[in-house]
Each structure stands twice: as structure tokens, then as C-alpha cells.
Structure 1
Amino acid sequence: MARKVGVYTRISRDDEGEALGVARQQRDCERLADLRSWQVVKAYEDNDVSAFKRNVVRDEFELMLKDLRAGLIDGIVAYDLDRLARQPRDLERLIEIFDERPRLEFATVTNDINLGTPDGRTMARIMVAFANKSSHDASRRIKRKHLELAQQGKDSGGPAPYGWQREDRTKVDSKATEAIREAQREILAGVRIGTIRTRWQEQGLGNPRAGTKRMAHHHVEHILTNPRLAGYRTYHGEILHGDDGRPIKGDWEPINTLEEWEAVCAAIAERKQKRPGKSLARKYLLSGIARCGLCKTKIRGQINQRWEPGSKAARFSYQCSVVNGGCGKVGRTGEPVDALIAQLVLEEQRARASVTAIQGEQRWPSEAELEEVTQDIAQLIEAERSKQITVATLLQLLPAKERLRDELKLERARFYKEQKQAEAKNDAAELSVEEFFALPVERQQEIVLHSLSAVIIHPAGRGRRKFDPSLIEPVWH
């Protein structure tokens, strides 16, 4: 009876994504299995997956080990031993299974190695050790080359970052650029990253990985705060600085000005500090804004469980709740309250915009001070290099200058954040009520809070009554 074996194929990098390399390995392995009268019952393919990087999990390799241990296959065929293992620990895991099942078959197209014998295992360990050293040497050379390219402001290859063309990484992609800039405007206007992530997922934006069911929050955050947007070159996630202490600029088209990028980064960082680990999600316009007219407790929106699309019933209501410390005596249908507040707020903001002079973009007043501190740092570093001062002297003077530089940069980021946020909020004056309700609810709330500090909902008395706008009291700033 023919032995049932599996074929394992792997290639570290497949930029085209056509899987041609693993297909060639598959054919050669099947030919070898046929020569040995083995029956190939399963194929394990790790395409575009490294066997050297320790943080990479090879799903098909793990499944192959599981099937070998469970007895679903009687052996494995690979093109070469280094397709299976480039880390000694992976080889030892495979050998451990051969200890448990001594009659397992093993073969490679390029070598004749028997993992069932001491000599074969010794040879396999030597080969994997050499393959591991070869990968280490290649990794060291590649890292040095990437650092050199980064210091020159050049790209180092790989998939094009979202926002730039795949064919030419120095040119921006117009569709992706517009999506990024729109999302950044929403961030400054108070919209959550989670809301943007959901919309991008639905619209196929953000270059999610193939097979991704839910785009990661940090993936969207990285796209919107990537230093590359402002033209900065990074290395291992950090902005690179030249000998003069200034950030190195890349040779590609930027998407943001420095002021725009810093404003978005500051807005996201500030939001994390205010509510670390807590959701900012809102379902209703006046959540956290509406208050009971009797006890002044905050009122929350509550969904009507009996509501169905097309029915005349109210979809939700604002209700003072005893559970939240309220009196439980005041409630109101939600839609007419929201419509009234939206109309009043938009009218107020249009009136304000008509009498407020439009100011041009102001520059941060301490730019010259930051420039001076940056030059001082560069001069200190150069003085130490030219042996004008000692390392000890440099380390005495440098920390204070660096702290001042970082404080000034943070102050600049906050300045432009507040400026951009004010611009985003002032845009509401041009919205219609329909356009207002088409916005994410977080954006709607920011517009309302730009004009109001609270909305008092007064009791309407017993029985079903017609909506009375006079019982809704907006508290203006």
C-alpha cells in the first residue's frame, strides 16, 4: 500500500503574488513522490513567508506538524531542507515528531537526507545551521543597505505605502490621498478612528491585507500619522535626523504640510491621554449633552426595541434613567429633538460666520526659538566630533537642549492642532440639515458642542402630546 505523504512548499518573497515559485516546487516534489511510489494526499503552501524571522508564524508549516503528529500523513516531501527550516528550533520540532513516529518518510528534491537516522539528523542540523548563518549575513547586509538608503532620503523597496502609486512610490495616488486627507479632517473634527476604519473597510480603502475580515485600528492610525505624509524619512519606525540635527526628507511627494501632519498626530495623542483604553463611540446626537429638566442628570438615548423600518413608532428616545442616578420622570422622542437642535445650531453658526472676519492661517510664534535650539544641538554634536569638547561635556549640555526642543515641538503641534480643529468646526456653517445628519455622529456632536454646553429637556406632562419645541432648552456658550 502506497505511503500517504504531504508536500511542503515555501518561498520567502513573492512581490508579484502569482505563487509561481511554490508552484514549481510543488511539481518537482510530486515528481519525486511518484518516483518513490508515495501518494501525495495534501499540499502545504507558505507563499511569501519567511522561515528565518522569529516573529513570523507559518500557518501551513504548523498545520503540517500537527498532521504529522496526528498520523494524517506518513511523511513529508520538500524541495530543499531550507524550505522547511532556517531556524534550528523548527528542525528540532520536526525531529521530535520523527522520534515519536520512527517510520515516517522524508525526502527533498535537492538532497538525500534521512531524519530517521542519527547521521541524517546530524547532517540536517549542520545544513540548517549554515542556512541560518546565511540568512543572518544577508539580513545584516540588507539592514545596512536600508539604513544607507534611508540616510539619503530614498525608499528601500517593498510594497508602496498607502497614499502613493504602486508603479512609482515617489508619486502620490490621487484617490488614496483624498481618502487620507478626508479622514484627517474628520479626526480633527472629532470623528473616531473606528468610524473611519469601518467606512474604509466598506469602501475597500486603506490597502487591507488579503483575507482581512476586519481592518485593524492601529493600521488606520499608522496610515493617518505616518511621518512619510509630511515627507520625513523613517528607519525602524523612527524619524531619521541628519548630522545637522534636522529630520531627513524623502525624495517623494508629501501629502501633508508639516503643520497638518503635526495637528493630526497631536489630536490622536491627546484623545488617547483623555480616555485611555475607553471607547468614544456614540449612537445618539445628544448623548452626554442632554440633561433632565427636573434633576439635571445627563440623559442617554435608548433604542425602541419594537421599532421596525417603515413603522410610525419612534426609533429611539432620550430618557432620564434611575439607573444612572436620575429621577426617571422625563423622556422625549429622539428624532424631533435632534432635528430641532441641529437646525438651531446650524443657524447660530451661520449667523456667527457672517459677522466673524475670516483670518488667514497664522504661523506658530516660537518657530525662530525652535530653529535656534535645533542649531545649538547640531553645533554641540559637531563640536564633540571635531574634539572641541569632550563627550562628558556634550552629555552635560545636550539633554537640556533636547528637552527644550521636544517641548517646543509639542507646543507647535498643539498650536496647529487647535488651528486646524477650529477650521474644521467652522466648516459646519455651510452645511444643510440633511448634510449634517449624513456626517458621523461624533462629528455631529463636535459641531453641537461648538455652540452648546448642554440641552435641557423639560417635562411635558402626562399623556401623549404633540412635540413642543419650547420644552427643549439649548444652553449656549
Structure 2
Amino acid sequence: MPLIPVRAAIYLRVSLDHTGEGLAVERQREDCMQIVSSRGWELVEVYTDNSISAFNKVKSRPAYDRMVEDFTAGRFNALVTWDLDRLTRQPRQLEDWIDAAESQGLRLVTANGEADLQTDGGRMYARIKAAVARAEMERKGARQSRAQLQRAAKGRPPRGIRATGYTLNGELVPEEAAAIRAVFEAFAEGASLRSITAALSGAEPVVRAAGDLTLVQDLPSSVPVLPTRTGKPWNPSTVHGILRNPRYAGWSMLDGEIVRDETGAPVRAEWEPIVPDGVWLEVQRRLDDPNRATNRVGTDRRHLGSGLYMCAVCDSLVKSHGTRYRCAGHVMRSRSVVDAVVLGFVRLRLARTDLADLLVETDDEQVSNLAEQVAAQRDRIKRARADYKAELIDGDLYSEIRDEAETEIARLEAERMVITAGPTASAILSAPSPVEAFEAADLVAKRAIIDLLCEVRLTSAPRGRKTLDPNSIQITPR
């Protein structure tokens, strides 16, 4: 019978390439190529997975998966690898290759000469080695997890992939840290994830038509362009992960959660925080707000007073409705007229010589206490809802508890807003010409200044009156 030609494939892998140069893979390649050459086999292809672990069965190994498909298709009948643990650390995968050696005559050769899957002794050795290797990897994983927990408990920087803004040793990367700080501040002041993401990526403002109107989505001017490590644009989920990370407020963390000591107190980290507690807590409040729509385009406020001005009848926040501000059943006012009055008031206030008195120092401890009180009121509503569902209280009592808690939350939120004017608002107030700084600011910053300086309530314009009734736009200085 004619001899069946041996068509060989080589598989190369290292779990972690520290330098990115692929030197370990090249050393494996040289040894495996020597085997193919010395035996006179025909080399079909070299499959390489660089810096990819074989321990995690969920993690994809593209070259390995392609090699399996090629073997199934009959493209090669010999496989050369440097060591069995380079091929796989999964006993189930090893059994597949053992089946291939027994039933299909696959020649599997290792460069260290230890494996021969065509003999019972070789198969037993391979199974024992795979089991030992997997057990060692599990012990190693447990040791690493324990070490990470110990580091976190002492407030030391976590190992692994570095966070944007920090080195692996927890030192600040100035340019990145400044960008991360701007991201937190912009979101705390009302900018959306999408607009912040677009600003980081260097995108232009989004312009789109809405009937007879042209709407422009302002991008927060305070957020600089920051290239990603991959060179690809930023995405909202990445920005969301940054905003949720307690590391940026100087809290020790593990698996995304703040680490606490034996008393339950959060552990302060050794590294320098990028944002103060107050800003971080405000960001968490916004992210937790169920009324914040995050899954659609256009979550930014496009108009100066929408969600900021109030109805003088019911104190509800007015919404934009075409060219007007509207509170259903109570108020319908021209946006341009109202905005002109409000902007005129703000310009006069910004021109005052005593403007510095409006600057309020942020008290992070006080902000933290307010946030805890808000959380306690929200928990009170949750407990009342659970009691109502369990028929422990009736609907009237549930409504009473909910209304009281929501009223208290509104009061606490208002107090917090007075304390945390926001860095962008502070920058405008402390500028050489606050009026010019305000005029040059983006929509988010202008809204922050208006909210800081005054409350605006609207009533319906008197019927039949063509001139503006100043009493129909009630502006109360803060």
C-alpha cells in the first residue's frame, strides 16, 4: 500500500507575553519546526495564540479553534506542539485529541519528547499531566485571589490591567487624570454618557432635523479628547465603567466593589484620588436615578430651561414642547422669550462686584452625609413598598410614607446642590469676566450657573396681552 503523506500542523501558545515581542512563541516555533523538518513531514500551517491562557475554557483561542476545524476537515494528520500544556489545560479537550489519536491515527508529537498519544502509557501520562496542571492552576488562582484581597484590605493598588489615569503602581498619569476628572465633573453637572463619550473621541456636535427645527447636541467643552489605548473611539459602556469605579475617589476596591474593614468602614486607598467624594457620590446618584434615560440618543437637554424651570402652579419641572416650555394643563410659554429674560437676569448677577460671595466651598463630609440621608429615604420607600405588597400596610399609609420620603429627598437634593456648585460653575464665577465666560460656556455649564444663581417659575401669559408681563416669569435669586 502506498504510504499516506504526513501533513503536519504546528500549534504555539504562551499565556502572557510581558514584552509583546512574541519571543517565547518564537522559541517554541524553532523547536517544533526542527521536528517537522527532521521527519520529512509536509508543513501545512502554523497556528499561534500569543498571550492567551488555555486554563479558562470560556476564553476564546482563535487559532486553536481554527486548528480544530481544519483537523476535522482533514487538512492535516500530524500535530506538533512544544508541550501538552501549550496545547490545552482542559481535560475534556485533551480527551478529544486522545480520541483523534486512537480512532483517526493522528500523530501528536511534543518538542520535549514526553507525549505519545498512540500508546496507552503515553495517554495515561498525558491525562495525569493535564490533571496535575489544572490542579496547580486552580491553586495558583486561589493564591492570587487571596493576595489581591490582602492588597485591597491594605489600600494598595490592584494588580492587572491599569486603570486610565493611573500607572500600575497607583501613580497619577497627569493628562489621563485630568481627562477622567473632567468626565466626572461633566456628568455630575448633567452631561450624558453619549455626549461625554463623543467629546473624549473628538467627535463633532450632532446636528439633526426635527420637523422645522434644527437640534444641536452640545458636547461638554470641559472634556478633552483622550485617545484610547487601542486607537478606537470610546464607547458609553467604557465611560460608564469609569464613572462607577470607586478607585477614582480614592477608595480601595476589589472586583468593582469598595473594600470594607472589620467594622464595615470603607478602606481608604494609598493612591491619590482623582475626584473628591462629593463628585463621585453625585455621579452615583445620577447613575442610579431611574428617571435618567441612558439607552437612547438625545438624552442631553437641548434647551436652556427644560427640566430646570418650574411651573408656578404645581412646581413641576417644565418640558420643551416645540418652540415652547410646557406644563400640561398649566403653562405654555415661548422658549425664546423666557430664555431671554432669564439670561438677562443671569448676566446682571454675574456682573456684580460681590460675585465672589456666591462661591461656596464644597464640604465633602457634608455632601456624603446628605447622600446617606437620601439613600435612607429611598430605602424607606422600598421598605414601605415591600410592606404594602405583603399586605402589612394599606395603600393610604404606603402613599403617605412615599410622599413624605419624596418630599424629604427633594429638600436634601436642593441642599446638596447649594453645597456642590460644581467645578464648571465655579470656573465661570471666578473668571476675570464671568459674563464673557458664561457666554462662551456650553449648554450644560449655562444650566449649572442658572441653577446656582436662581429659581425660575413660569405662569401662563395673560390672554390678549401682547407685551411681556414681567410677573409671569418669576425669578427668585438663591
Shorter chain as denominator, the TM-score bin is 0.5 to 0.7
Taking the aligned partners of 2:77 and 2:414, their CA distance within structure 1 comes to 64
Structure 1 stretch displaced more, 50-59 or 356-365: 356-365
Q: Name the counterpart of 1:350.
A: 347
Deviations 1:408-432 (A, max 9, x none): 9xx9999657743656457667456
Of the three residues 107, 110, 113, the one matched with 2:109 is 107
Deviations 1:68-116 (A, max 9, x none): 22233443321111111112233234445557x7143322112342345
1:268 corresponds to 2:252:
no
Deviations 1:274-315 (A, max 9, x none): 14553252589349959xxxxx99656xxxxxxxxxxxxxxx
Kept in 2, the 8 Å contact 1:49–1:58? The answer is yes
Kept in 2, the 8 Å contact 1:165–1:172? The answer is yes
Look up the SS of the partner of 1:274 in the other structure.
Answer: coil
Q: Name the counterpart of 1:26.
A: 29
1:64 to 1:420, Cα distance in 2 relative to 1, 3 A: farther
Q: Unpaired segments of 5 or more residues in structure 2?
A: 203-223, 308-317, 325-333, 373-407, 461-467
User: Per-residue deviation at 1:132?
Assistant: 0.2
Deviations 1:214-247 (A, max 9, x none): 5443322222332111221112222111233322
1:164 corresponds to 2:137:
no
1:297 to 1:285, Cα distance in 2 relative to 1, 3 A: closer
Q: Name the counterpart of 2:128.
A: 126
Deviations 1:7-66 (A, max 9, x none): 222222223322222222222222222222223333322222221124422222222212
1:61 corresponds to 2:80:
no
Taking the aligned partners of 2:320 and 2:278, their CA distance within structure 1 comes to 37
Kept in 1, the 8 Å contact 2:172–2:272? The answer is yes
1:421 to 1:433, Cα distance in 2 relative to 1, 3 A: closer
Look up the SS of the partner of 1:146 in the other structure.
Answer: helix
Aligned residue identity for 1:109: A
User: Per-residue deviation at 1:163?
Assistant: 0.9
Count of paired positions: 381
Taking the aligned partners of 1:444 and 1:7, their CA distance within structure 2 comes to 63
Taking the aligned partners of 1:146 and 1:22, their CA distance within structure 2 comes to 29
1:92 corresponds to 2:113:
no
Structure 1 stretch displaced more, 411-420 or 278-287: 411-420
Look up the SS of the partner of 1:71 in the other structure.
Answer: coil
Instruction: Give identity over the alignment, percent.
Output: 25
Kept in 2, the 8 Å contact 1:113–1:123? The answer is yes
1:151 to 1:245, Cα distance in 2 relative to 1, 3 A: same
Q: Unpaired segments of 5 or more residues in structure 1?
A: 291-295, 301-317, 320-331, 372-407, 457-469
Look up the SS of the partner of 2:42 in the other structure.
Answer: strand
1:195 to 1:277, Cα distance in 2 relative to 1, 3 A: closer
User: Per-residue deviation at 1:198?
Assistant: 3.0
1:275 to 1:155, Cα distance in 2 relative to 1, 3 A: closer
1:135 to 1:452, Cα distance in 2 relative to 1, 3 A: same
User: Per-residue deviation at 1:145?
Assistant: 1.9
Deviations 1:181-209 (A, max 9, x none): 1111110222122222233344873744x
Kept in 2, the 8 Å contact 1:2–1:37? The answer is no
1:10 corresponds to 2:13:
yes
1:41 corresponds to 2:44:
yes
Kept in 2, the 8 Å contact 1:188–1:417? The answer is no
Q: Name the counterpart of 1:387.
A: none
Look up the SS of the partner of 2:420 in the other structure.
Answer: helix
Q: Name the counterpart of 1:285.
A: 302
1:242 corresponds to 2:261:
yes
Taking the aligned partners of 2:196 and 2:41, their CA distance within structure 1 comes to 53
Taking the aligned partners of 1:274 and 1:60, their CA distance within structure 2 comes to 45
Kept in 1, the 8 Å contact 2:277–2:368? The answer is no
Q: Name the counterpart of 2:391.
A: none
1:226 corresponds to 2:245:
yes
Kept in 2, the 8 Å contact 1:266–1:413? The answer is no
The TM-score, its normalising length taken from structure 1, stands at 0.65
Higher relative contact order (CA 8 A, sep 6+): 1
Taking the aligned partners of 2:78 and 2:294, their CA distance within structure 1 comes to 48
Q: Name the counterpart of 2:187.
A: 187
Q: Name the counterpart of 1:147.
A: 149
Kept in 2, the 8 Å contact 1:162–1:206? The answer is no
Aligned residue identity for 1:435: A
Taking the aligned partners of 2:99 and 2:339, their CA distance within structure 1 comes to 68
User: Per-residue deviation at 1:175?
Assistant: 0.3
User: Per-residue deviation at 1:362?
Assistant: 5.1
Aligned residue identity for 2:252: R
1:286 to 1:78, Cα distance in 2 relative to 1, 3 A: same
Aligned residue identity for 2:346: Q
Aligned residue identity for 1:46: D
1:155 to 1:78, Cα distance in 2 relative to 1, 3 A: same
Look up the SS of the partner of 1:241 in the other structure.
Answer: coil
Q: Name the counterpart of 2:360.
A: 360
Pairing of 1:239-388 with structure 2 (within 5 A): 239-270=258-289, 273-275=290-292, 278-279=295-296, 281=298, 285-286=302-303, 289=306, 299=321, 346-353=343-350, 354=352, 357-361=357-361, 363=363
Q: Name the counterpart of 1:205.
A: 226
Kept in 2, the 8 Å contact 1:267–1:417? The answer is no
Q: Name the counterpart of 2:139.
A: 137
Aligned residue identity for 1:237: G
User: Per-residue deviation at 1:133?
Assistant: 0.6
Kept in 2, the 8 Å contact 1:342–1:433? The answer is no
Look up the SS of the partner of 1:46 in the other structure.
Answer: strand
